[in-house]
Structure 1
Amino acid sequence: MDWFRLILTSEEVAAGAVEPYREAFSAAFTAARGPRTMALFARELDDGGVELLISPESAEHAAPLLEEWGALPCERPALLGLELLVGHTEMTYYMI
């Protein structure tokens, strides 16, 4: 199953763009009753941008949101440098 990714530029990050994504995903997470493996992660990029990474189960519960964002399928990310923005902390155990 694919993960999804969205890249925010350093300018978007400086303008506060991460928070609206977190809030929208949090609303979808709550509406789906908090599935164990539905999660949104962030990883800072060297250029000041941020990579948002969305777990595969999220597609089941937040497909319109992922489409609206233009999130693209990607491989499962490495844990190094990931910050959990929305989801259960145990999600990282499923990624090992």
Structure 2
Amino acid sequence: MQWHHLTLSAGEIAAGRTTAIQEAFTALFRSAGGPRTMALFRKEAPEGGVDLYFTPECQLHAWPLLQECGATPCAPPSLAGLELLVGHNEITYYLTT
């Protein structure tokens, strides 16, 4: 399993796409029982956009959402500048061990 990534433009953010994805992800996270290594992160992107990162465990519990929103496989992101949107606060411990 691998990380997935999605870049949203400033216009998409203004249209509420980030909120819609976060709400859909939260519902899937809860229905899966809140897996320890399932998380959604964000990082500021150039020109007012945002990068969303989905941990590898998301493939097991949120695959339809990843496909629907157009997330693509990627290398693990640098932890610098990542903001946890949905998941357990201790997720960074699991990601660095």
Whether TM-score is above 0.5 comes out as yes
Task: Quote the residue 2:65 is aligned against.
Answer: 65
Corresponding residue of 1:12 = 12
Task: Give distance in 2, aligned partners of 1:13 and 1:77.
Answer: 21
Which shifted more, 71-80 or 12-21? Answer: 12-21
C-alpha displacement of 1:46: 2.1
Q: What RMSD over aligned residues (CA atoms) do the two structures have, in Å? A: 0.9
Q: 1:15 deviation in Å? A: 2.3
State the TM-score, normalized to the length of structure 1.
0.95
Counterpart of 1:74 in structure 2 is 74
> Match for 1:11: what amino acid?
G
Q: Structure 1: how far apart are the matches of 2:89 and 2:70?
A: 26
Higher share of residues assigned helix: 2
Q: Distance in 2 between matches of 1:29 and 1:49?
A: 24
| Deviation for aligned residue 1:2 | 1.1
- Give matches, 1:15-94, under 5 Å: 15-94=15-94
The residue type equivalent to 1:5 in the other structure is H
- Long gaps (5+) in structure 2: none
CA distance in 2, matches of 1:73, 1:66: 10
Gaps of 5+ in 1: none
Q: How many residue pairs are counted as aligned between the two chains?
A: 96
Code of the aligned partner of 1:61: H
